[in-house]
A = this chain, B = another copy of it.
């Protein structure tokens, strides 16, 4: 089944211990799309400026990503630059220019509104809710969020949590949202706020899945060469949602497998600057790493 993603498109300038790259194509919707298209058809809703190059558009279109929802506005595309710490587990923002992304009100094209799978990448919960209202009763909707929205728009976020099927956040965010320092209790608390599924990303430590029917943990893929962690979370979400949309049922087994595909997809992303490595990954390579991951975690 098809999958709509609503999120940012950006150009990132990234400094990591492995080097620096200027104006890499990035943004949540880009990473998500380049991961999810490996499994299913992706319908993109995002915004760029007049400076957005044809080559970047082609990169997505060549992978079957539908760009009818890629709005082009007068002005410049969102730009971010940041620097990662030596162990790449933290980063600081050096410069941020929202440009056309600031104040953007996403409009889901008519042709996308019946799409059964929806991913609401990190944005104001009010914006995420407005997107959800444009969709015709999706089968499975998942949202991302961040500390800033938990602090500043908690009411809209709680409303969103009652409306979506799943939430993907990191370990600090789930603890902040639950006001609880134990991860397991925090996950359960957030589950009680509405979503049927809460996936907690822990970077190099893998992820944790909470639902009322099962609990699951999966280590990260054992990656020796991390070049640039940017976009790992959105690629995880893309692999997860993409695989799930390609399944015939939302069974526990398929949910667990989808988490493993998300993990594997993210492991490609971090091996290159920007979207370079994930854009070069094939479904065959994904399958090989999936088998490795299964062997790696099996008792």
| CB–CB B222/A184 < 8 A | yes
What B residues does A86 contact at CB under 8 A?
181
Give the distance to chain B from A83, nearest Cβ to Cβ, in Å: 16
Within 8 A of B (CB), among A210-249: 215-219, 222-226
Q: Does A76 count as interface, using CB distance less than 8 angstroms? A: no
Q: Does A202 count as interface, using CB distance less than 8 angstroms? A: yes
| CB–CB A183/B204 < 8 A | yes
**CA A202 to CA B299, docked complex, whole Å:** 18
Return the contact of A205 from the options B188, B202, B260 (Cβ within 8 A).
B202
What B residues does A260 contact at CB under 8 A?
299
Within 8 A of B (CB), among A155-205: 181-185, 188, 202, 204-205
Interface size class of A (residues with CB under 8 A): 20 to 34
Quick one: closest B residue to A253, CB to CB? B299
What B residues does A257 contact at CB under 8 A?
299
Give the distance to chain B from A18, nearest Cβ to Cβ, in Å: 11
Give the distance to chain B from A12, nearest Cβ to Cβ, in Å: 22
Q: Does A256 count as interface, using CB distance less than 8 angstroms? A: yes
Within 8 A of B (CB), among A278-299: 294, 296-299
Return the contact of A224 from the options B185, B205, B297 (Cβ within 8 A).
B185
**CA A218 to CA B225, docked complex, whole Å:** 21
| CB–CB A219/B206 < 8 A | yes
**CA A276 to CA B240, docked complex, whole Å:** 42
What B residues does A298 contact at CB under 8 A?
298-299
Q: What are 17 sample pairs from A and B whose C-beta atoms fall under 8 A apart?
A: A86-B181, A87-B181, A182-B225, A182-B226, A184-B222, A184-B224, A188-B224, A205-B205, A205-B206, A206-B217, A208-B219, A215-B222, A217-B296, A218-B219, A218-B297, A218-B299, A298-B299
Given contacts A183-B204, A184-B222, 20 further A-B contacts (CB under 8 A): A86-B181, A87-B181, A182-B226, A188-B224, A202-B205, A205-B205, A206-B217, A215-B222, A215-B296, A216-B296, A216-B297, A217-B219, A217-B222, A217-B296, A217-B297, A218-B297, A219-B219, A256-B299, A297-B297, A297-B299
